[in-house]
Structure 1
Amino acid sequence: MLNAMREQRVGDLRGDCEQCFGLCCVALPFAASADFAVDKDAGRPCRNLREDHRCGIHARLRQEGFTGCTVYDCFGAGQRVSQVTFGGQDWRTGPPERARRMFEVFPVVRQLHELLWYLTEALALPAARPVHAGLRRALESTERLARQTPAELAALDVDAHRGDVNALLLKASELARAPVRGRRKDRRNADLVGARLKGADLRGVSLRGALLIAADLTGADLRGADLIGADLRATDLTDADLTGAFFLTQPQLNAARGSAGTRLPASLARPAHWTAEL
């Protein structure tokens, strides 16, 4: 029963573009870089967004210079804002004030949904049982916040709420990693850009917020590692073992490189471009 409820919640926290009005393609800004081919201001539709709210180059995003789009996930915030918060009202057809408010609210709900993902995962960690009650309360309060009206969401201090939730997630992480044998070096917020960690034993290591851009983790053992907020852009996870790693998200995986031999948590999907790059 509990597993079924968790699977349903995880499903609700995955983006469903069919139920969204292309909010990420309008509300969010981006700058010309290795991730995006052009500049775009917040609130202005991407030049590739079609009238039906679909991307005109979805199948060619990487080739067209929009890699940043391929590693983004709204955690289901897009469909909630489109279909629930605004009751299915399209920003294209309503007054300008509605569109402005939708674009203002979307990033807030996205942060709340990301917290719901982490809290749901933390509640599935048996070793974190001592803080499960607190995690459940945090999950319920976060869900209540996500159900607020557009005006309430726009006024929400989401950073303060995130700070409260993060304290619980940190405790859950410490409890979950405690059973791993041996002294585990804390790599929290470490600068590991381009680091050579091939075959490294990183079991139970905290890599919270670590910069692992272009690091070589080929064949590394990351079982039971905490990867919340770790920057995995171009990180080589070929044949690495991430089973049991927690607070790992689909956007992080999508930003990394991997192989058919990379072992992943059951809740995450192997990025399609990993196979295409072989």
Structure 2
Amino acid sequence: MQFQGVLTKMKTEFTEPIEYYLVFENDFINMNQLLDKKISISFVKYECLNCHLDKQIYRQGFCKSCFYEIPQAADWIMRPELSKAHLNEEDRDLAYEKSVQIQPHIVYLALSSDVKVGVTRKAQVPTRWIDQGATQAIEVVEVPNRYLAGITEVALKEHLTDKTNWRKMLTNIIADNNLIEEKDRLDDFLPEEVKPYYLENNKKVYDLNYPVLQYPEKVKSLNLEKTPEFTGILKGIKGQYLIFEDNTVFNVRGSEGYVVSIQLA
């Protein structure tokens, strides 16, 4: 059986374990059903997720010209503290920026390798944690806009990392910190304007379990530009990575905008 389409990040369902779907324009693949099966992935061409032209992907699934023009790739996406829509100030497209920035946001702690602090829209809970491969997560503050979440993250990352060590995450080397205790010690480090939004009584820790039959001992990353054809036996899915029997890992989200052909044995 063969599928072809442009890669976008896998859709997920928060089930036990998490369910993964690779979605193409006219079809989809339930990836959990492919565990222990042989899969062949072939690079066909590029397709920018914005202009849909066959132009080399620059970042985040976009070609270089789109990346520097469209609001979906502006700096405030990666650096929420740069958000200005709440001030009625435009960066690239004020209507879009308001629609994304002026809505409830969560600042959270997650265990994906070490304890990390992060920001997500409330509507993206728990999808954001799944995409990072977190095994646990807890909400620290809930604020009404992206800017407040951003300045909170900036303050807290002086005391915690804001990065996921993807190699540790994929080899399942996870810190065993108590997230409730970690959250409780952060109150004093919050910016003054954010302290009213601190979720003081929140003790809910989300547990996330992934469909992994075998973790790699040492990961080697598949780059479709360097290796346009790859065949392997799927042994697991974690974060946005496919894990194969030979320790190869493939970052689906990192390959957005690549048109691929997928052959199932």
Report the TM-score, using the length of structure 2 for normalisation.
Answer: 0.32
Greater fraction of residues in helix: 1
Greater fraction of residues in strand: 2
Structure of greater relative contact order (alpha carbons < 8 Å, 6+ residues apart)? 2
